[in-house]
Amino acid sequence: MSDQPSKMKWFRSLDGEDFRRMATALCGGLLLAVMTGPEGSITQPTYAVRESLFTAHVYGYIVFGLVIGLLLTYRAKVKNGSWRQIRSAPRRTLVDHAASIAASTRLVALGVTALLSLFAGLLFADFSGPVAANKFSWHAFAHQFVFTRTYGYLALAIALWFTAANQITLLTRVRIRSLSRITIVVGVLIAILFFSLAADPFLPPRFTVRSLNPASQSSVFHHWTTYLWLGVGLLAIYSYLRKRDRVANAKSPRRLERMAISPSMRMVGYLGAGFIAIEAPKFLSLYWQISLYQQIGVYCLLAVGLNIVVGFAGLLDLGYVAFYALGAYVTAYFSGALPLQPPFHLNPFLVIPFAIVIAMLSGVLLGLPTLRLRGDYLAIVTLGFGEIIYVLANDWVQVTGGSPGTGSVNGFDVNLLGVHYGWSAANPLSYYYLMIAVLIPVIVLFDLLNNSKVGRSWAAIREDEVAAQSLGINALKYKVMAFAMGASTAGVAGVFTAVKVGVLFPNTFVLQLSITILVLVIFGGMGSILGVLVGAVFLQWLPAYLTFHSYFGYQQSDLYLYIGALLVVMMIFRPQGLVPSRRRQREFADAESGQGSADALGPITQEMPQ
Amino acid sequence: MTGDDLIFEVEGVTLRFGGVTSLNNVSIVHHRGEILSVIGPNGAGKTSLFNCLSGVYQPQEGTITFSPAAGKSMSVIGRPPHRVSQAGVARTFQTSRMFGALTTFENVKIGVEARQKTGPIGAMLRLPRTRHEEKFSDERSHELLEFVNLTHRTNTLADSLPYGDRRRLEIARALGTNPKILLLDEPAAGTNPSEKLALAELIARINREMDISILLIEHDMKLVMSLAQRLVVLNFGGVIAEGTPKEIQENPKVIEAYLGASEEVG
User: What is the Cα–Cα distance from A79 to B246, expressed in whole angstroms?
Assistant: 54
Give the range of the structural domain holding residue A332, as residue numbers without chain letter. 292-559+575-592
Q: B145-167: per-residue pLDDT in tens? A: 999 988 888 888 888 888 888 88
Measured in degrees and rounded to the nearest 5, phi and psi for residue A147 equal -80, 130
Residue in chain A closest to B123 (alpha carbons) equals A449
Whether A311 is in a domain gets the answer: yes
Q: How close, in Å, is residue B112 to chain A by CA atoms?
A: 9
Q: How close, in Å, is residue A516 to chain B by CA atoms?
A: 28
Whether A251 is in a domain gets the answer: no
Inter-chain touch A595–B174, beta carbons under 8 Å? no
Which residues from B are below 8 Å from A360, CB to CB? none
Q: What is the pLDDT of residue A4?
A: 42
Q: Are A20 and A149 contained in the same domain?
A: yes
Which residue, of A179, A212, A245, is where some domain finishes? A212
**Angle, alpha carbons A65-A49-A44 (nearest 5°):** 140
Among the residue ranges A214-228, A322-336, A346-360, A428-442, the one predicted with the least confidence is: A214-228
Cβ-based neighbours of A9, under 8 Å, separated by 6 or more: A101, A102, A105
Q: Are A411 and A304 contained in the same domain?
A: yes
More confident residue, A236 or A514: A514
**Chain B CB within 8 Å of residue A470 CB:** yes
Q: How close, in Å, is residue A475 to chain B by CA atoms?
A: 8
Mean pLDDT of A413-432: 75
Q: A166-175: per-residue pLDDT in tens? A: 555 444 444 4
- Neighbouring C-beta atoms of residue A600, cutoff 10 Å: 14
Inter-chain touch A459–B101, beta carbons under 8 Å? yes
Q: What is the pLDDT of residue A371?
A: 79
Using 50, 70 and 90 to split pLDDT, how confident is the model at B202? Answer: very high
Whether A229 is in a domain gets the answer: no
Residue in chain B closest to A589 (alpha carbons) equals B101
Q: What is the pLDDT of residue A126?
A: 52
User: What is the Cα–Cα distance from A516 to A511, expressed in whole angstroms?
Assistant: 9
Q: What is the pLDDT of residue A495?
A: 93
Residue in chain A closest to B91 (alpha carbons) equals A470
Whether A220 is in a domain gets the answer: no
Which residues from A are below 8 Å from B126, CB to CB? 448
Using 50, 70 and 90 to split pLDDT, how confident is the model at B261? Answer: low
Could you tell me which of A575, A577, A515 has the C-alpha nearest to residue A299?
A515
Inter-chain touch B99–A464, beta carbons under 8 Å? yes
Whether A76 is in a domain gets the answer: yes
Inter-chain touch A586–B57, beta carbons under 8 Å? no
Q: Are A206 and A332 contained in the same domain?
A: no
Q: Are A311 and A458 contained in the same domain?
A: yes
Q: A574-607: per-residue pLDDT in tens? A: 777 877 777 777 776 666 655 544 433 333 333 3
ipTM of this complex prediction, to 2 decimal places: 0.90
Total of domains in chain A:
2
**Chain B CB within 8 Å of residue A442 CB:** no
Q: How close, in Å, is residue A248 to chain B by CA atoms?
A: 10
Q: What is the pLDDT of residue A517?
A: 92
Report A:450-469 residues touching B (Cβ under 8 A). 452-457, 459-460, 463-464, 466-469
Q: What is the pLDDT of residue A148?
A: 53
Q: Are A183 and A332 contained in the same domain?
A: no
Q: Are A207 and A327 contained in the same domain?
A: no
Q: How close, in Å, is residue B148 to chain A by CA atoms?
A: 18
Q: B172-189: per-residue pLDDT in tens? A: 999 999 999 999 998 888
Report whether pLDDT(A307) > 90: yes
Q: How close, in Å, is residue A43 to chain B by CA atoms?
A: 53
Which helix (H) or strand (E) covers residue B12, if one does? strand B6-17
Nearest CB to B113 within list A448, A453, A470: A453
Which residues from B are below 8 Å from A586, CB to CB? 100-101, 157, 159
Report whether pLDDT(A225) > 80: no
Q: Quick check: A497 and A438 in contact, CB under 8 A?
A: no
Q: Are A314 and A206 contained in the same domain?
A: no
Inter-chain touch A467–B113, beta carbons under 8 Å? no
Q: B56-104: per-residue pLDDT in tens? A: 889 999 999 998 888 888 898 888 999 999 999 999 988 888 888 888 9
**Chain A CB within 8 Å of residue B105 CB:** no
Domains in chain B with CATH codes: 6-98+179-264 (3.40.50.300), 99-160 (no CATH)
Inter-chain touch B100–A595, beta carbons under 8 Å? yes
Q: What is the pLDDT of residue A354?
A: 92
Using 50, 70 and 90 to split pLDDT, how confident is the model at A353? Answer: very high
Inter-chain touch B47–A608, beta carbons under 8 Å? yes
Inter-chain touch B102–A583, beta carbons under 8 Å? yes
Q: Quick check: B26 and B10 in contact, CB under 8 A?
A: yes
More confident residue, A444 or A10: A444
In percent, the amount of chain B with pLDDT more than 90 equals 35
Whether A296 is in a domain gets the answer: yes
**Chain A CB within 8 Å of residue B133 CB:** yes
Highest-pLDDT range among A2-11, A139-148, B112-121? B112-121
Using 50, 70 and 90 to split pLDDT, how confident is the model at A287? Answer: confident
In this complex, how many residue pairs, one in chain A and one in chain B, have their CB atoms less than 8 Å apart? 140
More confident residue, A487 or A426: A487
Inter-chain touch B123–A251, beta carbons under 8 Å? no
Mean pLDDT of A130-144: 55
Strands B181-185 and B61-66: unpaired
Highest-pLDDT range among A178-182, A224-228, A303-307, A401-405? A303-307
Inter-chain touch A459–B154, beta carbons under 8 Å? no
Q: Are A197 and A332 contained in the same domain?
A: no
**Chain A CB within 8 Å of residue B259 CB:** no
Using 50, 70 and 90 to split pLDDT, how confident is the model at A215? Answer: very low
Mean pLDDT of A474-485: 92
Which residues from A are below 8 Å from B111, CB to CB? 471
Report B:29-68 residues touching A (Cβ under 8 A). 43, 47-48, 51, 54, 56-57
Q: Are A323 and A207 contained in the same domain?
A: no
Which residue, of A168, A193, A212, is where some domain finishes? A212
Mean pLDDT of A404-416: 78
Q: Are A195 and A299 contained in the same domain?
A: no
Cα distances (Å, whole numbers) of residue B1 to A97, A516, A568, B74, B172: 73, 63, 64, 21, 24
To the nearest 10 degrees (0 to 180), the angle between helices A179-199 and A148-164 is 150
Q: Which of A360, A471, A488, A607 should we substitute to test contact with B (largest number of B Cβ atoms within 10 Å)?
A: A471
Q: What is the pLDDT of residue A369?
A: 84
**Chain A CB within 8 Å of residue B189 CB:** no
Q: Quick check: A577 and A526 in contact, CB under 8 A?
A: yes
**Chain A CB within 8 Å of residue B85 CB:** yes
DSSP A418: T
More confident residue, A49 or A227: A227
| Half-sphere exposure for B170 (CA within 13 Å, toward CB) | 29
Report whether pLDDT(A28) > 90: no
Among the residue ranges A29-43, A440-454, A485-499, B175-189, the one predicted with the least confidence is: A29-43
Q: B96-144: per-residue pLDDT in tens? A: 888 888 889 999 999 999 888 888 888 888 888 888 898 999 999 999 9
Mean pLDDT of chain A: 71
Q: Are A198 and A296 contained in the same domain?
A: no
Whether A609 is in a domain gets the answer: no
Whether A242 is in a domain gets the answer: no
Report whether pLDDT(A316) > 50: yes
Q: What is the pLDDT of residue B43?
A: 82
Measured in degrees and rounded to the nearest 5, phi and psi for residue A192 equal -60, -45
Handedness of CA A590, A595, A601, A603 (dihedral sign): negative
Inter-chain touch A485–B120, beta carbons under 8 Å? yes
Report whether pLDDT(A37) > 90: no
Q: What is the pLDDT of residue A193?
A: 58
More confident residue, B219 or A595: B219
More confident residue, A272 or A218: A272
